[in-house]
Amino acid sequence: MPSTTTVFSAYSSLTASSMLVRAIVNEVKSILNLFIPIPLQRKIISKLGCLYGHQTTELILNIHEHGGGTRNQMYEASEVYLRTMVASPSLARLAVSKCQREKSLAVTAEKDQDVVEIFEGVQVKWRLICINNDSASQRREKQNFYELSFPKLCKEIVLSSYLPYVLKRSKEIKEENMGLKLHALGLHRGLGGVWGSTNLNHPSTFDTLAMDINLKKEVLEDLDRFVKRKEFYKRVGKPWKRGYLLYGPPGTGKSSLIAAMANYLHFNIYDMELTSIYSNSDLRKLLVSTRNRSILVIEDIDCSVEFKDRTSTEGASNRNQFTLSGLLNFIDGLWSSCGDERIIIFTTNYKDRLDPALLRPGRMDMHIHMSYCTPCGFKLLASNYLQIQNHPLFEQIQLLIKNVNVTPAEVAEELMKSDDSKTSLEGLLNFLQSKKTHPNESNAEEGERKPTNPKQAEEQKAGKGNKRPKKAKKAKVIDYDD
């Protein structure tokens, strides 16, 4: 047996030798960095790995479509990036589709096929996997994920260089081919945070809106100020979001204003139907699955749901209901910070029906009254629809518009009835005179609403039609705290 002194002496010699070897290796690396580019070094290392048998030792990364209730950003980037590789000779099957009003075809690789790419001397291989699972509720749910495989030796290259490159390149591709989307709840998938989408091709712009000029300018300035204030919101400790309430009679252009805002900011729209939400947890899932730079719209908030008195104790025993407090927390509570650069818009025909808690600043920051058509709005509509700036009938029409409650939608409808300017203006003049003579016959009379269900129709026939009908009970919403 060697003595203790001999063992320690051998250990010291070994340690000193390893330190010397490490120093030499580091010195060689420094010299290589001076004369050989890093991509070439990686290629050499990859080839050396193949010589030592590493080519059969692969590492596989699974990139799932969803994670944590939201769509995986890396999955989306991979999906966009791989569309540029459909010319790969390894592909035998391609999927071709075309959305309505899209100018070009969308060509993608079918599932279970290898898409091979060489990145800085490293071979990476992509494959789309689709699995259909039967859930406990007997509903088939599809799980999609990308399988990315490469030599284990190249793990650092893939994680530190290749995947960031895919993210960056996919962002550039989306910006090059960006089109606005209108999202709605995917009915075939339930409330799992999944939104279906279609192209938003609404032509409305601020130039075509028949709004008061000063109000239009105020809205534009507010939007410009909002998108430029990222650092401001961070400094004051507020989520980067803005709330708008659009209120006024039907046909005054609330939906057109929303489309104009989306086109102006280039934000996607999420149309949220509150009648499809049955609990606060459903609302949270939908919120976290929306993206940044988007407009979330809740139309006709006064009649979409029936809110109980916030001081009522009726909801205390039923915590699984969709509550007003849940909606308030969604607007400006902790959950409102799950995303940046978002706009929330409520619309209503009757502002006085809304709970005051929904209207305060921080929830609905700017209240925009969409009023009846004005003389200025009429001139803009005449310019857009008839392409005329003046006409002898303008003065009579503008005088009537000052004294008659007529919506921009009604004016536009009259202007569309003929291609001849004089005929259209005469028809509009007759329409306005008729409204002035018989104002109670107008469907746009504020406070009047057509029956929305058979029960309301029966009440109106029974002589109760003069009263404002109760809100349609589409979804029961109870509130138990603020």
Quickly tell me which residue has 């309301």 as its tokens: 456
Distance CA 49, CA 56 (A): 10
Confidence category of residue 279, pLDDT binned at 50, 70, 90: confident
Strand 294-298 vs strand 268-271: parallel, antiparallel, or unpaired? Answer: parallel
The mean pLDDT value for 326-339 works out to 74
439 pLDDT exceeds 70? yes
Q: Which segments of the chain belong to CATH 3.40.50.300?
A: 184-304+321-369
Return the amino acid letter for 147: E
467 pLDDT exceeds 70? no
Q: What is the mean pLDDT of the chain?
A: 78
Going by the DSSP 8-state scheme, the letter that residue 110 receives in this structure is: P
213 pLDDT exceeds 80? yes
Fold classified for 184-304+321-369: Rossmann fold (3.40.50)
Going by the DSSP 8-state scheme, the letter that residue 470 receives in this structure is: P
Q: Record the tokens describing residue 240, joined without a space.
A: 């980067």
pTM, entire model: 0.64
141 pLDDT exceeds 80? no
Helix (H, G, I), strand (E, B) or coil at 35: helix
Identify which of 425, 439, 372 has the alpha carbon closest to the alpha carbon of residue 401.
Answer: 372
Confidence category of residue 435, pLDDT binned at 50, 70, 90: very high
Distance CA 446, CA 158 (A): 63
206 pLDDT exceeds 90? yes
pLDDT digits (tens, 9 = 90+) for 4-52: 666 566 656 766 666 666 666 566 656 666 666 655 655 565 555 555 4
